[in-house]
Structure 1
């Protein structure tokens, strides 16, 4: 019973502040999509960026920010790709049953990445999550033509490493795939949530993982750079636009269209 209680508390998003354990605050008004830009401003959803971080924060962390590990992860990514944007996944914070619509944000993240991929044909993505947020990653179902543009996935303290929390119908067993070069599943030794037989709750708290963020961000960036060197996804569209530019009097308008295709 004690172990079950510790698991429930950890997955509920308890964070460590000094010597005390406190629940992350949440405002009922913080229900809108948040997409952070390099300047920290909110909604800039019409702009295509070269790279976007899609982040699942831990349960009970405020929707207002990316969270205790999400914010530093994004800051590290910006050091390598200053134009990167970030999306804060929305999920149902009232309950965590797998029968609830948009359980832990899988539906929201799926809709978002598919929409963004259509809007920005050359945008790449890195997906990250911490604690119970990692379970939402396993409920993402990116479209087949979008998946190759997900350069990396990092799930920190992922309970799915040892526990089948989802029924088979709810679990996306084909993405992300264990063992892939683009997937990292950091788990501290004896972590109560992700380590087989783990008993230590404190190792699951954000303080146990914050020191790994720079290396994990570098992992994401390295995979992103590799992904960029893949076959250019919209070469045909670019050539079509260039041909139109050469044969049209509306050069400024068509040049603008080419720039949009290139996402520069």
Structure 2
């Protein structure tokens, strides 16, 4: 290699190292800025590939579209989503751990919970269990639960037995939209098996996202009005 080529290579290396050094120096700030305005925690349905699932991906996309100017992150609940339905408690524990960790690191982030089919059951356990039950060992502390702005569940098996999350959870019921697609046999007495796979096509996923967006953008009552509501029992 000629002296001129060697000098050029060293200059390029120096510039690259300088850039890397700058990036490393900026890393703490980048990490601090990583907190989103809204974080969606979604549990996929039985047999869906690892990730948010088709319904979860559509839900997050719709919510982003409904919240212009806000950053929306997502977390795919880590659990088997297999036919061993007792493993839904694994998902509830994982979601709880993620929420607690992220809430501590990101004090201004609001959370949205969502789930489809068995994933809806994961959210049921997380939000309606009165405490540790079976293998669910990590209930949400009240301070973290308060940071959950909305819950959206699709094809929820508990609907089929008359225990929808909207009434089963005193803390989360009013924050919840529960959507069953027609005669979907997972969440209704009907027998339209195809309906269970059509939550995106039916528009119900968009409806759930619109509900969550409304909860996130609703005006906060003034402190004086809140105090009046408390004193009057409102």
In 2, the alpha carbon distance for the partners of 1:214 and 1:45 equals 31
Matched residue, 1:60: 47
Which structure 2 residues correspond to residues 208-247 of structure 1 after superposition, within 5 A?
A: 210-226=202-218, 229=220
In 1, the alpha carbon distance for the partners of 2:59 and 2:172 equals 19
Give 2:195's match in structure 1, choosing from 183, 190, 203. 203
Distance 1:230-1:113 versus aligned 2 partners, 3 A rule: farther
Which structure 2 residues correspond to residues 103-252 of structure 1 after superposition, within 5 A?
A: 103=89, 105-140=91-126, 141-163=139-161, 173-177=169-173, 180=174, 182-195=175-188, 197-206=189-198, 210-226=202-218, 229=220
RMSD over equivalenced CA pairs, Å: 2.7
Distance 1:56-1:149 versus aligned 2 partners, 3 A rule: same
Which of 103-112 and 87-96 deviates more? 87-96
The TM-score with structure 1 as length reference comes to 0.59
Distance 1:89-1:133 versus aligned 2 partners, 3 A rule: same
Determine helix, strand or coil for the equivalent of 2:214: helix
Distance 1:199-1:175 versus aligned 2 partners, 3 A rule: farther
Unpaired segments ≥5 residues, structure 1: 1-43, 166-171, 233-264
Determine helix, strand or coil for the equivalent of 2:206: helix
In 1, the alpha carbon distance for the partners of 2:162 and 2:207 equals 28
In 2, the alpha carbon distance for the partners of 1:159 and 1:231 equals 39
In 2, the alpha carbon distance for the partners of 1:214 and 1:173 equals 23
Determine helix, strand or coil for the equivalent of 2:74: strand
Q: Residue 56 of structure 1 contacts residue 133 of structure 1 at CA under 8 Å; is this kept in 2?
A: yes
Determine helix, strand or coil for the equivalent of 1:121: coil
Larger radius of gyration: 2
